[in-house]
Structure formats: C-alpha cells, structure tokens
Structure 1
Amino acid sequence: MELKDYQQRVITDLNDYLTVLENTQLLDVAFKNYWAEKNVPDITPYKNNVANVPHVCIKVPTAGGKTFIAVNAIKTIFECFARTNPKQAQFVVWLVPSLTILEQTVKALANPDHPYRKQLNIDFRHRVAVYQKHDLLMAADFSLDTAQEQLSIVVMSFDSLRAKNKEDRKIYQDNGYLASFLTADNNHQDWLLDGYDASALINVMRRLKPVIVVDESHNAETALSVEMLKNLNPNFILDLTATPKNNSNIISYVDAMQLKKQHMVKLPVIVSNHHDKHKVIEEALILRQQLENIAIQQQSEGGKYIRPIILFQAQAKTADDNTTFEKIKEFLISVNVPAEQVKIKTAQINELKNIDLLSPDCPVRYIITVNALKEGWDCPFAYILASLADKSSPVDVEQILGRVLRMPHVQQHGHDLLNMSYVLTASSRFLDTLQSIIKALNKAGFSDKDYRQALPIVEALVVEKPQQPDFNFEALEQAIDIIDDLDNQKIADWQNITIPVHPELVEGQEHGSTGSPQTVIADNINTAMASVKQLMTQAISQNEQYQEIANHHSDSYLPAELEAKVNKYTLKDIFRDEVLCLKLPQFVMPTPNSGFLSSEMQLVERDWLLKDFKLANLDAEINFEHIDTEMYQVDLEQVGNNDYAPKPFKMDYAVREKFNKYILSLDKSGQIFNLTARLFQLIGNLYPIDDNDAKTYIGRIVAQMSVEQINDCLERDMAYVRKIKQKINALQDAHAYKTFTNWLDVEKITVEPMFSLPSIITPKGKAPDIAKSLYLTEDSINNFEHRIINEIAQLDNIVWWHRNLSKGKGFCINGAFVNHYPDFIVKTQAGRILIIETKGDDRDNSDSTNKLKLGKEWANKAGSQYRYLMIFDNKPIEGAERLQDALTKIGQL
C-alpha cells in the first residue's frame, strides 16, 4: 500500500514544517515562516495550546486515509527529533474518540498482514509493539528496555484519560508492575505529575515524552481535553480531523477534489427530493437494485465485487422507541426483501455486530438507523442514504452522510453510477434539507461544491430482463401502512412491473455498453421508474462535470479561508499574449525504465544521475581541525507568558552525558561502532545512497579519528555531522556532474521548452515599484537585488523583467546539482531571454560555482536566444560578471 499523491504531499508538508521548526527553534516564528514559504504571509498566529510543545493539525476529509497518513508521519517526526536526542524513546500515544474506532485501530496496527502494520515494520525495522491501556497497566511485554529499543504505540480513548470511573483511574494509581521504569534517573524527576506516584502509568508515559496522535481531534479540544494532553508531557501533538476547531494550528489541507482524483470518495453526492416518504422508499429500492445489477455486470467483465447498501434513516418518536425501526424492517420483508438482507443499527439495537459487510458471503443490503452510524463505522458499499423523516421535519443527515462517501476498493469503477453517492429525501422544507446536507458535508471535510441536486423530470425508461428477484410492489400500499408515522398517501400501482437492470441511459441508443438488447417503457407506465431513470441520467452528467473539475484541479490546494490571505498579481495586459506563448527550456530525458522506444520526456532529476553512485571506494578524508566551534544546540527555554521554546529540540544533557561516558568506556572498536551508529542516525536519510553503503562509509571516517576527535565529536556531534554531509554531497555532485555532461555529449539528455510563466503569481511579499515589471507586482527583493534590477530596467533595450519565484513555483535550471532557481528573468528588444543570478559580495556563495557551471551548460544548449549571467558587485568568481561589466553586456543583447 503506497501513499496517494495528496497523502505524500501531507507528509512533505509535515517534514517541511519540522525543518522550519528545527531551524527557528521558536513555535510561533516557525509556524509563520512555514506558511510564508507557501506564500501565505498573513496566517492566523500560532496557538500555544500546550506550552513549548509543537501542536499541529492536518485537515483531511472523511475517507481521506487519516490513519495511513498518521502511520507514515510517525517516522518523519521521530527522525527529526533524533537529531537532538538520539536516545529518546520512540513512544506514541494514539488517542481515539470511541471504543469502535479504538478496536478498529488496534486491530489494524497489530495485524502484521495489514498495510498499516506493514508500513510501520518497514519504517522501524520490524521493532514495533502495539498496546492497549490494560497491556501497559500489567506491563505486558512493556519495560524501560523494550520502550528504548522499539516503536511502542498505545491506543487509548479520550475518556480513558479523563478518570471518570474506577477503571480509568487505574492509570493514576501506584503500579508495581512498572517498577522497571524506576531503576534509573530517580533524581531526574521533572517529568512527575504532582500528586501521583512515580510508578503510576500516567508518570511512566510522561517519562517517555510521547508523540501524541489525536484521531478525530475535533472531539478533543475542550479545556478538559487540552489539560489531558498536557498531563501526558508530550514531545509533539499531531491532530488529524476533517473539521479543525479554532485553536488548531493547521499545516496541511486536503480537499475533496484531491480525493476524487485518487478515487477515495463517491462524489458528487446526488440529492433527490420527493413529495412523500413512499416515493423515497420506492426510488431507493429501484436505485439500489439498479446499482447492484450494474455492479454484477461490471464484476463479470473483470471489475471488483460490490453489493450496494441503502441506509434508511428513520425518525424515532423517542430515544427508546424501537417500534419505528422494526416496522420499517417488517415493511421491507413484506415486499419480498429477504429478512437476512435487512439489519437495524441503533443505540439500543446492533444487528451488525460481528458482520463483515464487505464479504461476498454477506447478504446485507438494507440498514435501518437514526444517527448510530457515526465516526468509526466504515462500509464503502453504502451508496444510498434514504431519509424517512416526517415531511414537515428538517432532515438531519449531519451525523450520517459521511458513511456513504467512502469509495469501494479505492478505485474508479467502470460505470459512472458506481462512482457517486445518493441522498433521497421527502421534505417540504427542502432548502433546510440542502443546508443540512451542506452542513454534513462540512462536517466530513467537504463543501457545498460537492453535491448536485437532481431535478424531478420524467422521461422514457430503458430496461432489460431483471437479474434479481422481483419486489412485491403490489403489496406496497398495504405494507406501508404498517409504519404508523408515514403519510397515508396513495402510491403507484406496481402490479406486473419489474425492476430495470443496468439501463444504458443514452437516448436513442438500441444497445447498452455491454451490447445487451434494451427495451423501452413508455413514460406513462410508471412514474417512479422513470424518475429513477431521470435521476441516473442526471447523475452521470453531473459526475462527468465534477470529474472534469477534479482532473483540472491544482494539487497546490489552498482552502477558501487562506485564499483571501494570498497575494495574487496578474501579468500586465501589454505582455499577456506574448508571455503565455513563451516556454523556457529545461533539461529533459526519457523516463528511466520506460524503454528505448518511449517518447515521454521528463525533467532530469539529480537522483537519476546517481544511480551507480557508491561510497564504498571513495575518499573518506575529512579535515576536522577547523570545525565550527559552536555547540549544536543551546537550551532555548524561556520564561514568562511568551514561552514558545519547542520541547522536542531541548537537549537532555543528563542522558547525553551518560551515553557519552558509556561510549568512552568501551575499547576502540566499540567506540567506532557506537559513534558510527549515532552519526548515521543523526545524518538521516541519504537517498538514493543505500543505508549499508552510507553506514560503512561513516564507519571509515570514524575509524580515522583520533582519541581527541572522538571526544570532541561526542560533545559536538552536529558540527561533525555537517562536515560529513558536506563531504558526501561534494562526492555526489562530482559524480552527478560527470554523468550529466557525458549524457549531454551523447544527447541522452537534451533541452526542450518546458516551463510556462503563470498568468497569476502568488508571491510571499511585494517588490518596490520598478519600471518594466512583467507582473502588476513582483515578489520581494533585497537591497542588492533592488539595485541590480533597477539599473537593468533603466537600460533602453529592456522590454520586461520578472522576479523569479522560489523553490517549486518558479523557473529552475535542473540537472547535476540541486535545482537552481535564478533571481531574475529579463527580455530584451532583440528577443533574447536573460537568466540572471545575483550574488552579494558579503553573502555565503559556497554554491555559486555549481550554479554557474549548470547555468552555462543550460545557456549553451538552449540556443542563441538565451543567456545566463551571474552578477557580483565587485568580487566575481571565475566565469561570473561584475555589475558594471554585466550592465554593459546586457545593453548590447
């Protein structure tokens, strides 16, 4: 099971946030800077809910795969924190709002064959243990040693931490089973919760400084819940919810269109309103059987098994009134629905217990409920929500609509009608009903753009011989009277009318998509069946429109509440037509592994050039004599009301000193082994370098260290890590550049026009007004950049200039090194495009040589229309330009 594109973007967002946090060391500044990098400069300030603890939220709609995102996030979080405290236990408290979700989560995480557990085993080398609260209370395979050697996840409900009853209070009581956690660091007890013994489970969890995953976090943001989170002494809190509360610090958003593109949800929701409840039942029965017949035919053609289910939402007279549900069940049976296909799920009745609704052996096709099917109930086969509320009552679908949104098998199905969900109502207050549906969509993380209203138009119906037993609709009028709270209106005469099967729903066509012959039934034979046909016709059309929107939806999604905070500036009209036709060249090659005959060209990625790169036989000499003198971390703990210091990055000096003494007590081989493991962990992922190759190389470096250097490295490990990473990057750059130039020579790599300037830009800031700018306002520039582009713009031969946007948004020169995003793009009257990189003499220009080499290679291959210039003030490197010399040259181009 792999991450979907949008799920991978969420993990990237989390990693980006952690990187900014690690660099800034301030929670409020990090949050602001993180969003500024995404061109949202006026983000709502960070809420410091739990002092010093990073507490962030990921907004993912229902059916978006929150649990799998959380599973993949755990490694990202711990890898970041290990750079400061490599011996910190990897302990996760996974909080859920209900026992149903708890059972599902434990079952998935503990099952070695489940995709969630498989991913954890990959990420943590099969050293994973999953617990429930009672496991920890009994110390079942849980000790200080095991906690420090593995990933430990305890799944708990919110209520279990609130100590409302005797069972829940056990985590606050003395516990001899947990004695192993008291054998060390007894003098280091700042983690104890006042008033409770050190052996209490709450204090054991506090000692381990857990990462907390809060599933459906909108249920956990009361004052009591925030205090509950604080009591766990967490290092990090990750919220996942479709509906974040006001105190959430959201770092990543997923929207409905991304889920639709990845076939995660049955959208749009098709809403059909009727005159009375009888028509709702009639249409629901027909529509469900239509969907099942389509599913049967799709399966016969190689599709996946689907058994569509109706959720009948009843309206009980009182909380304890079960008669309504039983009567609906009796009614369905009276019209020839087999009893085993009908189940009731209410607060008092649970006929779904221990039933696998996805099994081909399961007969269930009808579920009767009110609002009992809430978070945690998961059945992708639920396609139709049929509300049986009184005609004059508001239709309350807020709690249940999300249950019909999940897509079976997470794939697009061969027939459009299997890719949507349906809501059928009978309400004279339909505007209120639509508002309820919108509210329900919002609760599930969607919007009012994700439903479509079906119009009640009757046309001819196409049918064929049924594959299912006929319903006894002749008995419908009598059977409906069993339900005493239904209207006593007359219904259609269903005698001798069969249920249509898999209509093609294309007017004037004699054969369906399967080639099966079709029969036309006239409009006046059956209104309800024609109504279903019309609903299905409209649904197909609406789905096509919705899918088209999804296909063209940008993956760089920003929600409506952030769109207003983004700077947006358009191309100047005088340049629009010309610039929208311009495509800047970039380095391309056939996609690796696509075969010799593949014509698909992709932007060259540096990793492709490192395919054969190995550290095994390369130089491991590093001069550590002039290493940076600063300590990697200082304790940034602040006091006072604005205490924003991030707790995970505070070095535990006691643990560090103890670990260093242990390593120094070993012989030389033991020191090399342990220091190598420590540096390897701190350096982190070096993809595409193999882990064993990297670890062996680091071991060679450590083996050459003197006794003094080993001591120094233990004290200032991150300074040494930076030196080692610089060495490895330099070796990679040399290999990649050699491969790059070789492939250029044999034209395996070529240059093609690829990058188009957008019609609208969303810059982080605003540049001062300078003549001849390409956009109404350009992105911000520093003083030296302002001086250079101002002087260039004053040249007579300049048509326009543009401040190139930063990483991932603007034009880059790709190739052997990290993608190079130059500062400016300039056009001259002669039609030449100039790519300009500026370098202040006072700046760190350690990467300038590689940028210049790549820029010159690009200009040589791009053609005479293009130039690359690197401009310094007065001290250029070889091949670059002084400012005055560059101005003279540009004036002649």
Structure 2
Amino acid sequence: MELKRYQKTTLETLEQFLKELHKAGLKYAFMGITEKPYRAEAFGEVPFVCIKIPTGGGKTLVGCHAVEKVMSGALQNKLDRGIVLWFTPSEAIKTQTLKKFKDRKDPHRRVLDEAFDNSVKIFSNEEALSIRKADVADNLCIVVASLEAFRKEKSLQNKYKVYQENGALLDHFEHIEEPDFLERDSEGTVINSLANVVRLSNPLVVIDEGHKTATKLSIDFLKDLNPSFIVEYTATPRDNSNILVEIHASELKDEQMVKIPIVLESAAQWQNALTRGIEKRIELEKDAKKIKGEYIRPIALLQAQPKNKDGNTITVEHIKEFLIERKIPTEQIAIKTSEKNELEGVDLFSRSSDIRYIITVNALAEGWDCSFAYVLVSVANLGSKIAVEQIIGRIIRLPYAKKKANEDFNRSYVFASARNFNEAAEQIISGLESNGYSRSDIIGADKKDTSYELEAKKAILDTLKVPMMALDGDQLTFEDLVGSDFELSKQDYKFEFQIHYDNDGRAIIDIKNEDEWMRGKQMFLKLNYSDKNFTKNELVQWLDKKLRFPLLEKSDKVGFLDKAIDYQLKSHTLSELSVNRYVLADRLSEVINGILEEYAKERFDSLLQKKKITTEPFDAFPATITLKQAIPQEFNRNYYEKTDKLNREELEFVQRLDLDTLSNIKYWVRSREKIDPFYIQGWKRGKFYPDFVAVTKKGNIIALEWKGADRVSNEDTAYKVKIGEIWSNLGGNKLHFFLVHTGNVEEVLKEIKEL
C-alpha cells in the first residue's frame, strides 16, 4: 500500500530521530528535531515518543512501519526478535487490530512480513499465555492486548491471568539469572507469568490512542513491564507527551483521506433533526448515482439515547418507528447496539447491501469504520453522557481516499438536537478535538457555500512558476546524476569496520559515557545458533534485503556487497560479521550513500561545466492550498489569502518583507517543504526547499532560506548555500538566493530593496 505524504514524513522524522539517538543521546536527539525539551519524568532514559495523527489518518499502518524502523534502528541488539507489546484502548479495537495482523493478505501484515522476513508471530494476550520460548527466540512476537488486560493496581495483579503463575511458560525461566525486575511471590520465588516473560524480553511498546494512558496507574504499569522503547499514537496527546511528529487534519484532507469540513445543522426538536438528516441522505444518494466509475451508497448514522427507568428518552425503538412512519423500508435499517448487532457479517460496501440507516447509541464509538457514512444525526441531549462527540470520528473517512468532483461528497454532515446552533457547535467542536480536529473543520449549514477555513486561494493574479534545476528540458533529479551507466560493483569497496560485539554478543567497544541509554541497552545481543553461523552468501543476501537502494540493480548491489564482505573477511571472521550484521549494514549504508553522492557530485560539476544544467520553469504554485495552521494575520503582498504557521523569527522576517518600505516587492510566498512545487536539486539525494520566494516588480525571483542561529554554520546549511548560489548564477541576474538569520536581516533586506 502506497503511503501518503504525511505518513512518509512521519516515518522519515522517526528515522532521523533514531539516527540522532545513536549520535547524540535521547534528550539532544529529541530537541534537535522538535526544538522542544524532552520530558523524561515518566520513563527516565527509556525513549518515549508520541506521533500525533488525527482519526482517519492510518495510525495503525504507520505503526507497523515504525516497528521496523525502531527495531532496526534503536533496538538493533534484539536482532529483529523478541516481544512487541501493542496496546489498544478497547476490546473492539483489539479485535480489529488482530484481524488485520493475522491476515497475511492484509496491508498491515504484509508490511510486517516484508520487514521481518516472515518471521512474525501474532498473539492476543490470551494466546500469549502459552507463548513458547522458541517463539520469542526465533521471531518477532507481537502481542496485541487491551490496556485493561495489564493495567491493574499492584494489589490486584495476582487475580489476573497475565500476572499469574503459569506452568506453560516454565521454559522461559529455566537457566536464567533471575534479574531484580522480575515479579516474585511472597516467598521470593520468581513467578512464571506472562508479565515476567514480557519483562525478560525488554519489549518495544506500541500504544494506540496513547492519551488513554494518562493516569499514574498507566505510567506505573508500563514502567513495570521493563520496556526498551515506547511509541504512542494518538489524535489528542497528553500534556506531558513528547510529540515527535504532529500531523494536522488539513494534511489528511490534502491527501484526500477525510471528509472535512463538517457541515452542522441544529434543530430544537429531535424529529426535525432526524427529518433533515433523512432528507440530506436521500439528496446525496440521488447525486451519488451521477458519479462515474465509483459506487457510493450514502449511509446515515442515527444516534439514539440509552433507555432509562422513566422511559422519557428517545430510544433506538423510537427512531426505528419514526423511520418506518417515513416509509423507509425495514431492509434499509440496521441496529448496532451492545445488545443487538444487525451488522454482523454484513459488507456495507457491497452493491447488494440495502442498508442506508444505522441506529446506535455508542456501539460505533470505536473499532468501526465505513467511509459511506456521510450523515450523523444525534437525537441525544447534547449535555448527556452519551453525546455526539463519541461517534463523530466514524463519518470522517473519504470513500476510496479520492476527492470527488461534487464538493458535497468531500464533506460530512451532522444534524444535532439542540436549543441553538452555538450549543450544538460547542459539543461538535469538543468531539472534533477528541479526534484530532479543530473548530476550523466545522461550518454552519447556512454557510455551506463557504470555503474550508484552512483553504487559501491566490490573492495575486500572476501565475508563479519558479525556475528550477533542469537537464535536457526536464527537472533535474538525483537519479539523473547517478545515471544508467553507474555500476556500484566497480566502485571502491574497501572501508574500515570496527567490530562492536564479540562472538558471545557482548559489546567490546566503548560507547559514549554520557549516553546512558545507548550504553545500557546495547551491551548484549541475544544470539542463537544461526546468528553465529551465517554462510557468506546468507550474509550477502541479508544485507541486500536490508539495504534498500531502488536506483541500483540488484545484481550490481550484490556484486558490490560480495566484494565488500571478501575485503572485511581479511580482518574479521565470518562469525564476527554475522553477529555484527546490523552494525555492518549501517556502515555499508553510509559507504554506499557516500559513493553515490561523490559520483553524483562529479557528474553535477561536469554537466554544469558543459552548461547542460540550466534553470527552467515547470509547475506553478497551485490556485488553492490547504494550510496546516493558518496564522490570524493579513499581509499586503502574500501570494495567498492566508499563510501557514511560522515560528516567531520567521514571522518577524516576513512582516519586514511585507512592509511598504520594500516597495519593489510585488509579492512573496511561503514555500512549503515537500508540498509546493519549487525546490533546488543539487548532488545530494534530498531536495532543498527554500522557506520563502519573493518576486519583485522588475521580475526578479528571490529564494530565501531562514536559519536559526544554532544552524547557520553547520554542514547542511553550507551545502544549501552552495547549491542556492549555483541556482542563482544560472538565472542570468534574474534569480537570487539569500541565507537569512537574525544576524543579517538588515543586510539582506537592503540588498533585496535594490532588485
């Protein structure tokens, strides 16, 4: 399954964090990427990071990819084996997750199998009560459990199976040193429990809906399981979460994942709210029949109130009677409550399904999704315990993850029973926020023609096409520079490699003393027989799989690896290389990237000298953009009506750029990394996206890169300045590049004023 852009960005950020973790340690790695302090109060030196993705953003798929990143990065010493504890917030989501993970045809399972050579075993917490020692020793064992299976007060733990003595697990505890962190009974004997098996494995912990672990009890029980790394995924992070990546709802809309904005209409009488919801669903179905190439049968979710002793609530039965009175056929109505489930075994996406109305109370709150659900009607009193916010996330997903030509099908519709619109809006906003959305994602039905608040149209008539590096009339790419004639197997395969672990898996080189996490967690490998006895061919094939370079032919890459291993065998044994294969893979990745970039640099310089590299305009900045977070400020010369959030220093700079004192500036635009069309391609793999572009009345185009004071003089900045200046020189006095920082703003603005 092709990942969406925001999902790729999430994984790239995680990967960068894991690399920095090795180099700089936990606190500096986190601060270097987020520019925020790392909060270690909960888990000390155990990495604990949060990925914020709104409901409908594919958190589980990102989580599967992240398991591979963490295991091959921070937890290399586990050699792709051991236990991953995957916590879900409820039994419903646990069942849904297990279904995905156990189906080898499911995209989630395929990601895991591909990453771990099919050596993956999936267990529920109940099934893990009989997990074998060999399972853990030879596979990556993912144990999917609801939080409640493990989250118990110390005094109550002995009543629950995961903490109880279990003879089936005896072999895990034979011939071990019995470390202090294992739970013991009143006589001091180690308990042969699943919880202790988990502790022995020093697991990677993945938490779905991590905000549900906010209590001290949750923190304590997680810490008690002896985790090696914790990743939480949530739409609504807790106050003390270490947010490594924050994805905004508008990014999901931009990737055609969700139906926002949500159109809200309120009615004082529940019958009126229900009538309007029915009318809207019928209207949508008529229009759906005009859509070519896609089948959509709009569904309305109708939220009733729970029964009470007084009998004065609008129950499931009341709503069904109302529908039948409105001549809705009974085969179009299904009930889904904790007592009755008429959706069991029903494929709602099938053309043969008649279901158009689903009546529920709160049984759809978690673990249920159907992108055909367009309308939500809540007859519940908005102040009641069972409110619309609990199921609003169920109508968010966009069918087929593809934007529709008819804008009505890119939106969701909520009809609420409330005294007035403001009362309804506040409750809906609360529901949106609990799903990672905001008040920007809602509009009133009376303003349904209003554009989405986070969409910004062009404010300037000009079409902006910024010239980019070009080769033979096409955009220059890194692949162009490497070219089809490059052969890795003919490059220098000799490099120094230090053995990290001896043949018993003990670390034999010093790791920086101040980095306690690295020293503590990577001192020992859990080896099995095969780890020490790879054949040369097996080692080469393993390295080939781990080292992913899509632009290289497999046979060419294998030829290079073969020579590289032969060279290393002159100073190391095959067993040493086998034991150290993860460290060796990292070193080879550095070597191959270095070779590619050096070759690309030579080709770049040669093509530049021959005047083969030019600058040409290609794609235009779009007429409408979707912002992550609009800033509440209007500008005189912004290319768009609104601009995306800027940090304080960037904002101060563009405010100066926007002033009348720079009367030569026609307009400027914030150029968003990996989203907008302008970038500068040099000889390194990554594209360089300058932060801003300004256009003067004389037709000069200015690329501006803002850098914080701590990053002005690093290697990455030096490279960007170099290729920025090359781009500028190719522009024939019409292209200009400036690196801007707090120390040179006046100087840069003075130069811009003359262009």
| TM-score, normalised relative to structure 1 | 0.65
Answer whether contact 2:163 2:195 (CA < 8 A) is retained.
yes
Return the letter of the residue paired with 2:86: W
Alignment of 1:11-30 (within 5 A): 11-26=11-26, 28-30=27-29
Deviations 1:20-78 (A, max 9, x none): 2222113x332222212xxxxxx365243122211111111111111111122111111
Answer whether contact 1:129 1:153 (CA < 8 A) is retained.
yes
Counterparts of 2:704 and 2:418, CA distance in 1: 63
Answer whether contact 1:677 1:695 (CA < 8 A) is retained.
yes
Gaps of 5+ in 2: 501-506, 622-636, 658-670, 694-699, 706-711, 740-755
1:9 corresponding residue in structure 2: 9
2:682 paired with 1:815: yes
1:434 corresponding residue in structure 2: 425
Counterparts of 1:144 and 1:121, CA distance in 2: 21
The alignment covers a number of residue pairs equal to 685
Counterparts of 1:809 and 1:764, CA distance in 2: 18
Counterparts of 2:383 and 2:572, CA distance in 1: 82
Alignment of 1:295-310 (within 5 A): 295-298=288-291, 301-310=292-301
1:588 corresponding residue in structure 2: 470
Deviations 1:160-213 (A, max 9, x none): 1135889972222233333443456x1263552344736321121222222111
2:159 paired with 1:277: no
- How far the C-alpha of 1:149 sits from its partner, in A, is 3.5
Counterparts of 1:71 and 1:817, CA distance in 2: 29
- Describe the shift of the 1:144–1:364 C-alpha distance in structure 2 as closer, same or farther (beyond 3 A): same
Deviations 1:791-827 (A, max 9, x none): xxxxxxxxxxxxxx999899986333456979999xx
2:494 corresponding residue in structure 1: 621
1:240 corresponding residue in structure 2: 233
Return the letter of the residue paired with 2:31: K
- Describe the shift of the 1:374–1:118 C-alpha distance in structure 2 as closer, same or farther (beyond 3 A): same
Return the letter of the residue paired with 2:129: L
Answer whether contact 1:609 1:816 (CA < 8 A) is retained.
no
2:183 paired with 1:193: yes
1:736 corresponding residue in structure 2: 600
- Describe the shift of the 1:162–1:680 C-alpha distance in structure 2 as closer, same or farther (beyond 3 A): same
- How far the C-alpha of 1:413 sits from its partner, in A, is 2.5
Return the letter of the residue paired with 1:356: D
Answer whether contact 1:206 1:233 (CA < 8 A) is retained.
yes
Return the letter of the residue paired with 1:386: V
- How far the C-alpha of 1:762 sits from its partner, in A, is 9.1
2:517 corresponding residue in structure 1: 646
- How far the C-alpha of 1:18 sits from its partner, in A, is 1.9
Return the letter of the residue paired with 1:752: E
Q: Give % identity.
A: 29
1:57 corresponding residue in structure 2: 50
Q: Report the structure number with the largest CA radius of gyration.
A: 1
Q: 2:355 aligns with which of 338, 342, 364?
A: 364
- How far the C-alpha of 1:339 sits from its partner, in A, is 1.9
Alignment of 1:330-369 (within 5 A): 330-369=321-360
Q: 1:127 aligns with which of 119, 132, 149?
A: 119
Return the letter of the residue paired with 1:262: E
Q: 2:150 aligns with which of 135, 156, 161?
A: 161
- Describe the shift of the 1:776–1:279 C-alpha distance in structure 2 as closer, same or farther (beyond 3 A): closer
Alignment of 1:78-93 (within 5 A): 78-83=71-76, 85=77, 87=79, 89-93=81-85
- Describe the shift of the 1:226–1:748 C-alpha distance in structure 2 as closer, same or farther (beyond 3 A): same
1:840 corresponding residue in structure 2: none
Counterparts of 2:221 and 2:455, CA distance in 1: 40
- How far the C-alpha of 1:698 sits from its partner, in A, is 3.3
Return the letter of the residue paired with 1:650: G
- How far the C-alpha of 1:147 sits from its partner, in A, is 2.8
| TM-score, normalised relative to structure 2 | 0.76
1:213 corresponding residue in structure 2: 206
Q: 1:261 aligns with which of 250, 254, 258?
A: 254
Question: In angstroms, what is the RMSD of aligned CA positions?
Answer: 5.0
- How far the C-alpha of 1:452 sits from its partner, in A, is 0.8
Counterparts of 2:142 and 2:224, CA distance in 1: 18
Return the letter of the residue paired with 2:277: A
Answer whether contact 1:120 1:128 (CA < 8 A) is retained.
yes
- How far the C-alpha of 1:221 sits from its partner, in A, is 2.0
1:605 corresponding residue in structure 2: 478
- Describe the shift of the 1:363–1:860 C-alpha distance in structure 2 as closer, same or farther (beyond 3 A): closer
In structure 2, the residue corresponding to 1:51 is in which secondary structure? coil
Gaps of 5+ in 1: 37-42, 456-537, 554-576, 591-598, 639-644, 778-804, 826-830, 837-842, 871-893
Deviations 1:328-380 (A, max 9, x none): 21232233222232233334443333333333333222222333321212222
Q: 2:242 aligns with which of 242, 245, 249?
A: 249
- Describe the shift of the 1:437–1:704 C-alpha distance in structure 2 as closer, same or farther (beyond 3 A): closer
In structure 2, the residue corresponding to 1:125 is in which secondary structure? coil
Counterparts of 1:391 and 1:134, CA distance in 2: 38
Return the letter of the residue paired with 2:682: G
- Describe the shift of the 1:190–1:677 C-alpha distance in structure 2 as closer, same or farther (beyond 3 A): farther
Answer whether contact 1:174 1:197 (CA < 8 A) is retained.
no
Counterparts of 1:74 and 1:355, CA distance in 2: 32
- How far the C-alpha of 1:104 sits from its partner, in A, is 0.8
Counterparts of 2:603 and 2:340, CA distance in 1: 68
In structure 1, the residue corresponding to 2:475 is in which secondary structure? strand
Return the letter of the residue paired with 1:698: L
Answer whether contact 2:71 2:78 (CA < 8 A) is retained.
no
Q: 2:95 aligns with which of 103, 111, 126?
A: 103
Answer whether contact 2:728 2:736 (CA < 8 A) is retained.
yes
Return the letter of the residue paired with 1:124: F
2:663 corresponding residue in structure 1: none
Answer whether contact 2:303 2:388 (CA < 8 A) is retained.
no
Return the letter of the residue paired with 2:150: L
- How far the C-alpha of 1:439 sits from its partner, in A, is 0.6
- How far the C-alpha of 1:775 sits from its partner, in A, is 8.4
Return the letter of the residue paired with 1:252: V
Counterparts of 1:261 and 1:808, CA distance in 2: 13
- Describe the shift of the 1:274–1:114 C-alpha distance in structure 2 as closer, same or farther (beyond 3 A): same
Counterparts of 1:632 and 1:180, CA distance in 2: 33
Return the letter of the residue paired with 1:31: F
In structure 2, the residue corresponding to 1:246 is in which secondary structure? coil
Counterparts of 2:347 and 2:576, CA distance in 1: 60
1:376 corresponding residue in structure 2: 367
Answer whether contact 1:88 1:148 (CA < 8 A) is retained.
no
